[in-house]
Amino acid sequence: QVQVVESGGGLVQPGGSLRLSCVASGSIFGIYGMAWYRQAPESQRELVARISSTGSTNYTDSVKGRFTMSRANGKNTVYLQMNNLKPEDTGVYYCNMILYGIHYWGKGTLVTVSS
């Protein structure tokens, strides 16, 4: 069994910063790629950033230069540093891990960017 738990969401003003954390635990042997998705109200879930098992990262265009995804050394623990937040970044942020072809999701953490 695999558990994925996110934390770090909250309310922030435009231009502010937040750092999200995600811990994957359970029957995991090795280091695996992980990703952050978000879902805005009345919108589909979209990929925000992902990191491979070797640490390479990719970002959706709308967050490039503002968000940084990283991993704790040797752990299935990842972070999403979000700077210069905009109202359109508002949504529920989900952490994802694919293990043996199965997607594991956390319950999400809400990020609200508003003045």
Residue 15 CB-half CA count within 13 A:
1
Say how far apart CA 75 and CA 58 lie, in whole Å.
19
Say how far apart CA 24 and CA 11 lie, in whole Å.
24
- pLDDT at residue 75, rounded to an integer: 86
- Which pLDDT tens digit goes with each residue over 52-89? 989 999 999 999 999 999 999 888 899 999 999 999 99
Q: Which two tokens stand for residue 63?
A: 């967050």
- pLDDT at residue 1, rounded to an integer: 87
